[in-house]
Structure 1
Amino acid sequence: MAELTPSMVAVADGVHAYLQQDGGWYLNNAVLITGPDAAITVDTAATEARTRAYRAAISRVTDVPVRTLVATHHHGDHTHGNHLFPEATVVSHTYCRERVLRDDYHAVLALFTGPSWGDIRPAAPGLTFRDTLTLWSGDRRVELRHPGRAAHTRGDVYAWLPDDRVLISGDLVFNGGTPLLAEGSPGGLARTLEELGELDPEVVVPGHGGPSGPELLLETLEYLTWLRQLARAAHADGLAPLDAARQADLGRWAALREPERLVANIHSGYAEITGTPVDMTRLAADMIELNGGLIHCHA
């Protein structure tokens, strides 16, 4: 595990964000919602050690058991630790369950160097839904919603706490990191962020990076506008995604972490233009090429 120490930060009464800095590859956030008799966790962590550390952090906040685990999507940084919560019912969108059951996640991990993954294994959600599902933590309402379209993935779920005006976005939003649309849709994510803005949240807990206000939604929308313009111009010029990424003027987005994700996002932008599926093998190869080798991750 990296030397950067995770922290448990209160974002509302009884709601704590577990922040793993610096929020880069596989350093996601989880959220603990504590009720009088049981707790809900939104997501877990990428490695055995990090998930056990999260469990230890939970025990320092509350002694009530975690009975419900919400998976915001199928990616391993959010789901690898699910099996270490055997007492919890895992809840997700139906697509998330399908992907957890069928994916060879070890193939994805081969793109990265650095982490000691430990004991990670699939733990398929036992309760799924397609549109909305309401959970209760005592008298606190926790609304789980699917955007109704592909955004970050096809099976995204966000949690909305209307009484607290807290939005738990999963990877629909990154703070300080380049958004990732390898399995999603730039246009779908843009429409989703517009709808999230209409909720008028006071606090946004992103999938990676620190909590923020609603301005983070607007900033991500602005990135998507830039990305889609870049993709349209590069596609019209006949550029391959990798060449488009190499020639791009990043401007204000040059400071974002994980710049290698740009080529993945251009692939997704081209797919949006042509209506053809992304070639994930080529996308992964281009991302490694843009990065100059396998991607280092300090999870």
Structure 2
Amino acid sequence: MHQNPESGLIQLANGAWAWLAPGNSWGWSNAGLISDGEESLLVDTLYDLALTGQMLDKMRDAEPLANDIDTLVNTHANGDHCHGNELVSGAEIIASAASAAEMAELTPDAMAAIVAMAPDMGEMGRYFLDCFGRFKFDGITFTPPTKTFEGEMHMTVGDKPVELIEVGPAHTRGDILVHSTKDRVVYTGDILFIEGTPIIWEGPVGNWIKACQMIEAMDVDHIVPGHGPITDKHGVAQVRQYLEYVRDQARSRYDAGMDAFEAAKDIELAEYSAWSDPERIAVNVDSLYREFRGEKEASDVFELFARMAALAGYDVPTP
């Protein structure tokens, strides 16, 4: 896991904050806070209640309006961006309709059950625990969105205009960007992994590339990724270029008749090998192959974790 050079609560503008995790690997996610007048909006919660509680305490110390958060926006369905929702009591919780449906498919209880089974799953289970074993999924009450939208949603926080822009399906089915125009800040959720390998759970990759291009065209000073340090347009371009590179490399191997896992092992990651979790190439190539074939149904997630574990050096039997 790469360590973030800064972590904790970072002030970006008057009434705009970023919460940065200490690292950028599995489950270590970022969040944000926008406040103005008498209103506040939280962008994402964290993977478990302890992490979310720590973040909220720091926000409340720095910004009195965080003591009574009016609105919580979940950028997408992955638990490291929504499992702490129950701690923002009384807030309206907003997400895209696609994200709200996807959240219900892997609840905190389900994640706790998989972690409990992992010790009996051999080396793949060991890899899974190395990724997720430090988080506590027991005792979390699944707290879904109370309001959903499709496309775009425009709102205000005090006198600040805030735009919610749906750019998924990409990383997941319903990814959104949160753009606070007055603050010149965009919170990107997992459209951006900085110094970490993006993972294409859903696709199509073209949507993700377009989302990066949208961010590159924005008039902003601060870009807060879902994972990793605060970045700039150059960081966005690097993510886009990774996606384009992997798409093109996977396509040539698909056309040559190579299977998805062989292709993932064969692709030379070059400068991208220094990013954390490079083994995610296994999921990315699998998703691209599904896209090339026109298949909608996702691959078995345990098989995908077995492939990643093998690429990460765990002794996992693979086809």
What TM-score, normalized to structure 1? 0.91
Cα deviation, 1:105-124, whole Å, max 9, x if unaligned, reads 41665533331415323111
Conserved in 1, the CA contact under 8 Å of 2:71 and 2:92?
yes
Equivalent of 2:304, from 263, 283, 293?
283
Equivalent of 2:78, from 75, 79, 104?
75
Where do residues 151-166 of structure 1 align in structure 2 (5 Å cutoff)? 151-166=170-185
Greater helix share, structure number = 2
Cα deviation, 1:238-269, whole Å, max 9, x if unaligned, reads 22222222222111111110112111011111
Greater strand share, structure number = 1
- Matched with 2:256 is 237
Equivalent of 2:97, from 94, 97, 103?
94
- Matched with 1:174 is 193
Gaps of at least 5 residues in structure 1 are 295-299
Once residues 219 and 239 of structure 2 are traced to their aligned partners in structure 1, the CA distance between those partners, rounded to angstroms, is 16
Question: What secondary structure, in the 3-state scheme, does the structure 2 residue paired with 1:211 have?
Answer: coil
Conserved in 1, the CA contact under 8 Å of 2:280 and 2:308?
yes
2:159 partner letter: D
2:196 partner letter: G
- Matched with 2:267 is 248
Once residues 231 and 116 of structure 1 are traced to their aligned partners in structure 2, the CA distance between those partners, rounded to angstroms, is 33
Where do residues 213-232 of structure 1 align in structure 2 (5 Å cutoff)? 213-232=232-251
- Matched with 1:19 is 20
Cα gap change, 1:173 to 1:108, in 2 (>3 Å): farther
1:59 partner letter: R
Question: What secondary structure, in the 3-state scheme, does the structure 1 residue paired with 2:171 have?
Answer: coil
Cα deviation, 1:24-76, whole Å, max 9, x if unaligned, reads 11000000112222311000100111011011111111222111100000100
Equivalent of 1:122, from 127, 130, 142?
142
Once residues 78 and 183 of structure 2 are traced to their aligned partners in structure 1, the CA distance between those partners, rounded to angstroms, is 27
Gaps of at least 5 residues in structure 2 are 119-127
- Matched with 1:297 is none
Once residues 231 and 114 of structure 2 are traced to their aligned partners in structure 1, the CA distance between those partners, rounded to angstroms, is 30
Once residues 308 and 141 of structure 2 are traced to their aligned partners in structure 1, the CA distance between those partners, rounded to angstroms, is 26
Conserved in 1, the CA contact under 8 Å of 2:161 and 2:182?
yes
Conserved in 2, the CA contact under 8 Å of 1:200 and 1:214?
no
- Matched with 1:184 is 203
- Matched with 2:124 is none
What TM-score, normalized to structure 2? 0.85
Cα deviation, 1:212-231, whole Å, max 9, x if unaligned, reads 11112211111111101111
Equivalent of 2:164, from 125, 138, 144?
144
Equivalent of 1:264, from 283, 308, 316?
283
Where do residues 187-202 of structure 1 align in structure 2 (5 Å cutoff)? 187-202=206-221
Question: What secondary structure, in the 3-state scheme, does the structure 1 residue paired with 2:154 have?
Answer: strand
Question: What secondary structure, in the 3-state scheme, does the structure 2 residue paired with 1:188 have?
Answer: helix
Once residues 99 and 273 of structure 1 are traced to their aligned partners in structure 2, the CA distance between those partners, rounded to angstroms, is 23
Once residues 52 and 6 of structure 1 are traced to their aligned partners in structure 2, the CA distance between those partners, rounded to angstroms, is 16
